[in-house]
Structure 1
Amino acid sequence: MNDLAPAAVPGRNRSDALPAALRRAAPALAAYAAIRLLGVTVLALWSAADGKDWHTLLTARWDSLWYTRVAEQGYGYTVQLANGDVHSSLAFFPLLPWLERGLAAVSPLSPADAGMVVAWLASLAAAWALYATGERVHGPRAGVALAALWAALPVGIVQSMAYSESLFTALAAWGVYAVLTGRWVAAGALASLAGLTRPVGVAVVAAVWITAVVTMWRERDGGADGIRATLRAHRGILPGVLLAPLGWCGFFLWVGAHEGSFTGYLDVQGGWGNGFDGGLAFARFLWQLPPAAGLGLALGVALVIWLYVHGVRRGQPLPLAVYGGVVLLLALTARGYFGSKPRLMMPAYPLLLPLAAGLARWRPVRAWLVVGLVAAGSAVYGAFWLNGSGPP
């Protein structure tokens, strides 16, 4: 199969495509919703026993407070720490706060509750995109397994929080799927929206650009005439390429203008202790851990890298390989609070494709037993985590 060819439209016309796609995805959406419901239920029970409010943990702690503040007050809020570091709301990309503000304006929801609703709806949209991706690459059972595995990640509870990970993953996964199916304008628009959601939106832009370049190169026929013929064959490729970086670049440049420096956004991130150093700070962090903890974490990182390499060697389609690789690279080479790395890698769903393909080959009872055990572990860990140190 040509991975970049448009998908066949089921039914007699395009109006039949969406209902048919939703019917195919229904088992994956049901599995995803059940796993996340288990996670929230265990969180609620654990929080009640610990004297805490599960709703507050999901909507009004850590980064969710910053998103809500942007939704209510706009940008400009800063906190200066005792060590001199300055935490600015400009570090947080605007799409989630915009949606929080808009939904709160047309409903009785507070911005914080609106953020949770956006996250829950976006997580279902992400699960649908993951199903569609797994179905295209490895078949329907792999699509269901991919959505279920993503729901059951150890830090999967973040998908149910008023955080931007679910929204970003939905936009990114549908954007990469649009590249896979040759829908270039949709891919560019979704990449631009993903770039308004999180800094790692550049991974979606990279998937669009690199796949477009490879597509043009594969179908070149010499000279300007060949280029024009390729552009005619892929009419949306140039608009898609031009659209893709607008969101990310627009916010980066706006923050730069606000701060009076082209590197203004990087300076804001520096105030939070974030940035990119090629992984040196992460290596020092591993070295300073107790030997057993450092070795365990290093083995976990090695497993994640192995999953990526394994997927690429098995012929993972180019857009997925590029997107997953960039997300993983940015997560592992960033400095900052290192407890956040599992959350930063959560949008890298292509890493789960080899596992999903393997589960799809198992007998259903065995496969769902494994998924159930992993989901139970995720639910317990998520409840423990949020009632303890919480998400960074």
Structure 2
Amino acid sequence: MSPSGRAGTVRSVIIAPMLERTQARPAVRPGPPLRERVEAAAREAAPALLAYAAVRLTGLLVLTVAAAAGGRDVPEVLSRRWDAVWYARIAEHGYGYTVLTPGGAHSDLAFFPLLPALERLVSALVPVGPGGAGLLIGWTASLVAAWGIYAVGARLHGPAAGTVLAALWGATPTGFVQSMAYTETLFTAFAAWALYALLTGRWPEAGALAALAGLTRPTAVAVVLAVAVPAALLLARSWRAGIPGRMLPRLHAPALAGLALAPLGLAFYALYVAVRRGDPFGYFAVQAGWGNGLDGGRALAAFVHLQLRAHPPAGLALCAALGLLGWLLLLSVRQRQPLPLLVYSFTVVAVSLAGSGYFGSKPRLIMPAFPLLLPAAVVIARQQPARATLICAVAALVSAVYGAVTLLGPGPP
């Protein structure tokens, strides 16, 4: 077929019907009110939220018992240590605090603004301090995240798989962070619902949620790419199909809106730090002061090598954990997960492992990559209910013990 004939075919088959649909849409009967739809969705997700809550309550119960035995205060452990202290201070005093150490200048600009802004808001509405507000936000966000994780799993593999997926996410080894005044639950809530929006074709909502994730933590680059890569492929396919470039904005307006919105959160905060420090690369300089940066995994390789030489059992366990992580990524590909989920998971893992920062934080940085648990969730959901419940209960107990040991230890997670 000649180019002119091919263009005419594309115009008659693709473009003309699209124009007709946009110019004369048939009357659509209104669906149920938003409130009724939300209530119905909440009822559907209730078993998953109850399962997730049971997992996290198990963790809190074990932590409470262990803390009482050691004379420790649980609220202090969860809300007034490590990164939580920095967020609370920003909520109270704003940015501008730096701690000078032999390792560098630790500026509070390394911490993204959404959580402290919410802590300040909640503290103004509820008689609690920023630390207590951080716990309320974290616990609420954890339920919203579990709901979004269930929604993703249920859409792809049914309600049982979605319920198990939410429970497994709560029972990850670093699940204890989900009970802290940290950003992980808030970020995962935005990420999970952004991925669900992509699965259901709601591009602008996905872009807006990606932007909010970008105000929460730097790992939001994974959510931005989860929106950007499928959108770019959609535009490329249309262009290769012969659709004129001038028609693409109209044909794919929702995808372009999501693509435009997604990076705004990250861009806004990077610009804010650049202006505040008078340096276009100010954010990267701030992270360098904390010893953070992307080195392609050299720091990780050096750490593994050191452990293998100095502490062979710990080094072998670390290698096994990295092997398991690689296997989960491979299973996600073999499961044929949708492209947004694969882009998100691979980017979270890559950014977490390629950084030169404190190694002890890497497991919790990977925790938001919940699609990695989807293959296991599908297998467990096919078991008899009693067996599936037992598997999740054992995972919850192991996670609870590990979390109590870690939280009551000296180093930050």
TM-score per shorter chain, which class? Answer: over 0.9
How far apart are the structure 2 equivalents of 1:268 and 1:15? Answer: 44
Contact 2:103-2:290 within 8 A present in 1 as well: no
The secondary structure found in structure 1 opposite 2:291 is coil
1:37 aligns with 2:37: no
**Unaligned 5+ runs, structure 2:** 1-28
Normalised by the length of structure 1, the TM-score is 0.94
Q: In the TM superposition, what is the alpha-carbon distance from 1:111 to its structure 2 partner?
A: 0.9
How far has the Cα of 1:341 moved from its partner? 0.8
1:152–1:11 Cα change, 3 Å: farther
Question: What's the counterpart of residue 191 of structure 2?
Answer: 172
| Pair 1:360 & 2:381 matched | yes
Instruction: Give 2:306's aligned residue.
Output: 288
4+ residue stretches of structure 1 with deviation over 6 A? none
Contact 1:10 1:17 in 2 (8 A): no
1:341 aligns with 2:362: yes
Query: Corresponding residue for 1:63?
Result: 83
1:11 positional shift? 7.2
Matches within 5 A, 1:103-114: 103-114=122-133
CA contact (8 A) 1:191 1:201 kept: yes
Q: Which residue of 2 aligns with 1:141?
A: 160
Residues 134 and 353, structure 1, Cα contact 8 Å, conserved in 2: yes
The RMSD of aligned alpha carbons is: 1.7
Q: How many Å separate the matches in 2 of 1:36 and 1:333?
A: 30
Deviation at 1:389, TM superposition (A): 2.8
Q: Residues 344-391 of structure 1: CA distance to partner in whole angstroms, max 9, x if unpaired?
A: 101111111111111111111111111101101111111111111353
1:241 and 2:262 correspond: no
Which range moves more in the overlay, 381-390 or 41-50?
381-390
**Distance (whole Å) between structure 2 residues aligned to residue 333 and residue 367 of structure 1:** 35
Secondary structure of the structure 1 residue equivalent to 2:99: strand
Q: Structure 1 residues 11, 143: closer, same or farther in 2, change over 3 A?
A: farther
Q: Distance in 1 between matches of 2:380 and 2:251?
A: 37
Say if 2:329 is the partner of 1:308.
yes
Give the counterpart letter for 2:108 in structure 1: S
Paired with 2:230 and 2:387, the residues of 1 have a C-alpha distance of 37
Q: Percent identity?
A: 54
Partners of 1:99 and 1:14 in 2: how far apart?
A: 25
Q: Which has the larger radius of gyration?
A: 2
Q: Supply the AA of the counterpart residue of 1:181.
A: T
Q: 1:361, 1:271 → 2: CA distance? A: 49
After TM superposition, give the deviation of residue 232 of structure 1 in Å: 4.0
Given the two structures, how large is their TM-score scaled by the length of structure 2?
Answer: 0.89
Q: Look up the SS of the partner of 1:174 in the other structure.
A: helix
Pick aligned residue for 2:398 from 377, 384, 392? 377
Matched letter for residue 364 of structure 2: R
Q: For residue 108 of structure 1, what is the amino acid of its counterpart?
A: P
Identify the residue that residue 322 of structure 1 maps to in structure 2.
343
- The answer to whether the Cα contact below 8 Å between 1:220 and 1:227 also exists between their aligned partners in 2 is no
How many Å separate the matches in 2 of 1:10 and 1:149? 37
Q: Could you tell me how far apart the structure 2 residues matched to 1:362 and 1:226 are? A: 50
- Aligned twin of 2:69: 49
1:210 paired with 2:245, answer no
Q: Which runs of 5+ in 1 are unaligned?
A: 1-8
Note the C-alpha offset of 1:216.
2.5
**CA–CA distance in structure 2, aligned partners of residues 221 and 256 of structure 1:** 39
Amino acid at match of 1:385: T
Q: How many angstroms apart in 2 are the aligned matches of 1:372 and 1:169?
A: 22
Residue pairs, 1:175-214, within 5 angstroms: 175-214=194-233
Q: Secondary structure at the match of 2:337?
A: coil
1:254 equivalent in alignment to 2:275 = no
Post-superposition shift, 1:234? 4.1
CA shift at 1:308, angstroms? 1.0
Instruction: For 1:343, give the aligned amino acid.
Output: R
**Structure 2: which amino acid aligns with 1:350?**
P
Conserved in 2, the CA contact under 8 Å of 1:221 and 1:227? no
Deviation at 1:309, TM superposition (A): 1.5
CA distance in 1, matches of 2:313, 2:57: 34
Most deviating of 60-69 and 41-50: 41-50
Does residue 1:272 correspond to 2:290, yes or no?
yes
Q: Distance in 1 between matches of 2:30 and 2:350?
A: 37
How far is 1:256 from its partner?
Answer: 1.4
| Mapped contact 2:103–2:291 kept (Cα < 8 A) | no
Is the Cα–Cα contact under 8 Å of residues 274 and 283 in structure 2 kept in the other structure? yes
Q: Post-superposition shift, 1:225?
A: 3.5
Aligned residues: 382
* In 2, Cα distance between equivalents of 1:22 and 1:226: 42
Shift of the 226–266 alpha-carbon distance from structure 1 to 2, 3 Å rule, reads closer
Relative to structure 1, the CA distance from residue 148 to residue 236 in structure 2 (aligned partners, 3 Å threshold; closer, same or farther) is same
Letter of the aligned partner of 1:61 in structure 2?
R
Give the whole-Å Cα distance in 1 for the aligned partners of 2:398 and 2:313.
Answer: 22
Query: Where does residue 72 of structure 1 map in the other structure?
Result: 92
Secondary structure of the equivalent of 1:388?
coil
CA contact 2:235–2:252 (8 Å) conserved in 1: no
Q: For 2:372 and 2:393, how far apart are their aligned partners in 1?
A: 20
